[in-house]
Amino acid sequence: MSERTPPLRISVVGCGYLGAVHAASMAELGHEVVGVDTDAEKVEFLAAGRVPFFEPGFSDLLRRALDSGRLTFTTDIAAATGAAVHFLCVGTPQRRGEYAADLTYVEAATSSLLDVLGPGELLVGKSTVPVGTAARLAERVAERVPGAALAWNPEFLREGYAVQDTLHPDRLVYGVPALSGLDGTVDAEALLDRVYATIVAEGTPKVVTDYATAEMVKTAANSFLATKISFINAMAELCEATGADVKQLADAIGHDDRIGRKFLNAGLGFGGGCLPKDIRAFMARAGELGADQALTFLREVDNINMRRRIRMVELARQVCDGSLLGKRIAVLGAAFKPDSDDIRDSPALNVAAQLQLQGADVRVTDPAAGDNVRKHWGQLDFVASPEEAAENADVVLLLTEWRQYRELDPATFGKVVRTRRVLDGRNALDREAWEAAGWAYRALGRRNA
Ligand code: UDX
């Protein structure tokens, strides 16, 4: 932090995945930060430097921040009193039985923050919310604390890269009130620039806009990413029907830099705590706004995505000679993607559970998600290693492309299975090497041998 931008006192309300990483990152940038969460166990964990989730690099960052004395955690919202900037980082899950987002935590956290917010201070929303939420919360702020202000500053972090994405984001987006900084009101842009001084100094692109645009940037970005994945998975369906190869197709179209190769990996599709719920909440909000037609394509994006899971189960049945009953199946991967222990809406677990329901003897393994699988999917047989999962297996399914699975030696690994059959649900294995070691290789959207 430069001499001209002295550190700020910052509070971060909600210390889940987003909030915990944000709080530690703000301390890393030199600010004095208090993280507040209603979950006493989580607070105790974080305060002791323990990380309640798997995130490469976060443990070191947290430890550094705690050791510096600039980061504390508490359950007491009063500790946020007097901070110049208060970040709202609570979750917005999908409502049960509906597409819409559940704003219970946003409302509750805002209510408790309004009790401590002072004039001249800035409340900053980072949670992913339906467009229109910030304007509504800004009215509550104006009524309760004249002289305070609200900004919306969406977060684009990816699990597995959360630290890097927070400290070196590819853009900053500030949604600020129309007359921000005029007539003695809080200058939200200037204050956020002070928070992110180091990041701004790196020349990070910045978009300063209204609330609605800032809110939509997040859901639009996630919808675009989901669409890109479902596009290539729709192409995979066609490849399966025609004998074409989706991986080569993706490489070829990806060379056009207007299209780009990123997020064109065909396979089991997207899961996790963001893309699925965000596209659904976006559709629900469009419906409320009378603009549902604009997003009907997202329903198809969702459908394509879910069909891949069904197709994977069918493919497993096919290679098991038409019946799953009593077949021993190894599932490599349970997290929704590698370098994460997050199993929310995990395509891998969805497939594993369907196979088991249809009579297969399924063994699941994952390098990081074991505790979560045992806790939430007790009916699945979870084992520690790929070798245990594959012992006497009739078929091996790669469903999350962890590096340690991509690097398995197919010849050695082949010794534990009953039959050398592999289904590559992520198009991530070296097909030639596996075939050379005598494996029958099948994948979504790929030519059969
Ligand atoms: C996503 C966004 O990338 C991030 O910007 C936003 O802040 C939160 O949501 P994340 O949920 O961590 O991040 O995962 P991401 O890396 O985007 O992957 C999402 C899913 O898509 C995973 O299940 C992944 O396996 C799948 N995926 C990704 C594909 O199936 N194919 C691809 O080419 C890329």
Q: What is the 3-state secondary structure (H, E, C) of the chain?
A: CCCCCCCCEEEEECCCHHHHHHHHHHHHCCCEEEEECCCHHHHHHHHCCCCCCCCCCHHHHHHHHHHCCCEEEECCHHHHCCCCEEEECCCCCECCCCCCECCHHHHHHHHHHHCCCCCCCEEEECCCCCCCHHHHHHHHHHHHCCCCEEEECCCCCCCCCHHHHHHCCCCEEEECCCCCCHHHCCCHHHHHHHHCHHHHHCCCCEEEECHHHHHHHHHHHHHHHHHHHHHHHHHHHHHHHHCCCHHHHHHHHHCCCCCCCCCCCCCCCCCCCCHHHHHHHHHHHHHHCCCHHHHHHHHHHHHHHHHHHHHHHHHHHHHCCCCCCCCEEEEECCCCCCCCCCCCCCHHHHHHHHHHHCCCEEEEECCCCHHHHHHHCCCCEECCCHHHHHCCCCEEEECCCCHHHHCCCHHHHCCCCCCCEEEECCCCCCHHHHHHCCCEEEECCCCCC
pLDDT of residue 1: 52
Report the nearest-CA residue for atom 28 of ligand 1: 263
Q: How far is the CA of 19 from the centre of ligand 1 (A)?
A: 19
In the chain the first and final C-alpha atoms are separated, in Å, by 58
- Residue 183: pLDDT band by 50, 70, 90 thresholds? confident
Is 22's C-beta closer than 6 angstroms to any atom of ligand 1?
no
| CATH code for residues 9-209 | 3.40.50.720
Is 263's C-beta closer than 6 angstroms to any atom of ligand 1?
yes
- Residue 181: pLDDT band by 50, 70, 90 thresholds? confident
Report the nearest-CA residue for atom 32 of ligand 1: 263
Q: How far is the CA of 231 from the centre of ligand 1 (A)?
A: 14
Q: How far is the CA of 280 from the centre of ligand 1 (A)?
A: 15
**Active site residue: 15, 89, 239, 274, which one?**
274
Q: Which tens digits make up the pLDDT trace of 423-437?
A: 999 999 999 999 999
* Of 6 and 367, the one with more pLDDT: 367
Q: How far apart are alpha carbons 262 and 63 in whole angstroms?
A: 33
- Residue 449: pLDDT band by 50, 70, 90 thresholds? confident
Is 275's C-beta closer than 6 angstroms to any atom of ligand 1?
yes
Is 264's C-beta closer than 6 angstroms to any atom of ligand 1?
yes
Which residue among 55, 166, 225 has the greatest number of ligand 1 atoms within 8 angstroms of its CB, and so is best to mutate?
225
Which atom of ligand 1 is closest in space to residue 161's alpha carbon?
A: 12
pLDDT of residue 178: 87
**CATH class of this structure's domain 222-443:** alpha beta
pLDDT exceeds cutoff 70 at 163: yes
Which atom of ligand 1 is closest in space to residue 278's alpha carbon?
A: 9
Is 271's C-beta closer than 6 angstroms to any atom of ligand 1?
yes
Q: What percent of the chain has pLDDT over 70?
A: 99
Confidence (pTM): 0.95
Q: How far is the CA of 158 from the centre of ligand 1 (A)?
A: 7
Question: In the chain, where are the structural domains located?
Answer: 9-209, 222-443
Is 304's C-beta closer than 6 angstroms to any atom of ligand 1?
no
Active site (annotated) includes residue 15 = no
